[in-house]
Structure 1
């Protein structure tokens, strides 16, 4: 598949960056590179090979936008925390039940 394809040739999933579905490809619109306004360039944590002159980047994050994101609609639904932590909840319940049985035998 060519690297500039806009859809997967097999499943027709729209491609957003370098042949990977779902990865956003940020592109510079003016003459400046993306690196000049990227938070990862500012804190020197960028390892992108085109740095500091990248015109396209999948990791770009504007330095003026905080990294903390607001919860998505899915994360705010009731029960999401319970589903994410079901294993821990089951383990704690098993420990409490075991302690209860040990104390009941005394």
Structure 2
């Protein structure tokens, strides 16, 4: 019987997309009915994956996954409307998501300074 990779609870449906217990998306973890792609060279799949390039991948082993069901080869995709280079500047929303801890700390510092300034 298959089990969830996160909570390790058994899955009743072999083709479940989401774990019914912890709501983890299972599509990247491989299960019946979904093909599992494997790296054949010396580089992980993420180096040439469209989802890694546009920063929408949610696979826990990213960026060093050697097996994945979400893999989409960037060389086979004809048109992509968003920049796919790792060197491109991310959008402000992506930057905030990546640096949420620092944004929260900066917000707390600003609030602390405002409180300290108002008591003078």
TM bin (shorter chain): 0.3 to 0.5
Q: Based on CA coordinates, which of the two structures has the bigger radius of gyration? A: 1
Normalised by the length of structure 2, the TM-score is 0.40
